[in-house]
Amino acid sequence: EPRAFASSGPLLPADECAEVIRIAEATAAARGGWQTARHAQAATTDMNVKDVPEILDWFNSRLKSTLFPMLAARFPDKISGPDAIRAHDAFIVKYSADEGAQRACRPHIDESTFSFTIALNDRCDYEGGGLWLERARRDGDEAWGQVVLNADAGGVVAFPGKARHGGAPITSGTRYIITLFCYIDANKSKRAPGYVLDELRDRRGGGTG
């Protein structure tokens, strides 16, 4: 059955998260604003992490040191280890209660094996918000139903990408998150990585083509 994980505390330092927000807002101001049409299925007001080198370097470091090991530990039956996880897309999302701004994200399913939302600011900065799951239950509950999971700066919510979800609307303030899409590089043959290419080279007499 699908499982979601919400960290009980920050996994990333709050000061680093605040710096990401600062850099993102400065970048948006320099480039004429945030993007709003990158995702046709569930558009967000966002900025691609890979487009901001200073944020990308930090994020890659945190993927390796913290986020991928956490995901592998929470889903050991699905993920053989942190090295099997690949990042497909990562972007900073801004929800604002200002008039005309994006307050929520409509229900959808991600094109990922697992997805993250990483909080960049505290819940006291806004009202409402959080990751809405259409069908979930908390530990100890018997009934399934709608659940909203959220966290303060540095906190993480991880869940299967095929679970129907959305961004719950905020009613005041501004909420910043990083959304991350991951897939699992699974070698079910249990043979050494690269065995297919090795066999092709052997058939060609050892050449690389």
* Residue partners of 114: CB distance under 8 A and separation at least 6: 71, 75, 78, 85, 158, 159, 160, 161, 181, 182, 183, 184
Question: Within 13 Å and on the Cβ side, how many CA atoms surround 4?
Answer: 25
What does the block give as tokens for 189? Answer: 């043959």
Q: Which helix (H) or strand (E) holds 99?
A: none
Smallest CA-to-CA distance from 89 within 164, 183, 187, 186 is with 183
DSSP assignment of 141-162 equals --S-EEEEE--STT-EEEEETT
Q: Which of 35-39, 97-101, 102-106, 187-191 has the lowest mean pLDDT?
A: 187-191
Question: Could you give phi then psi for residue 200, rounded to 5 degrees?
Answer: -65, -40
pLDDT digits (tens, 9 = 90+) for 47-93: 999 999 999 999 999 999 999 999 999 989 889 999 999 999 999 99
One-letter amino acid of 14? A
pLDDT digits (tens, 9 = 90+) for 121-151: 999 999 999 999 998 777 767 777 888 999 9
- Place 207 in a pLDDT band, splitting at 50, 70 and 90: very low
* Residue partners of 12: CB distance under 8 A and separation at least 6: 62, 66, 118, 153, 154, 156
Instruction: Please give the Cα distance from 75 to 194 (Å, whole number).
Output: 25
**pTM (2 decimals)?**
0.86
* Residue partners of 189: CB distance under 8 A and separation at least 6: 195
Q: What mean pLDDT, rounded, does the chain reach?
A: 89
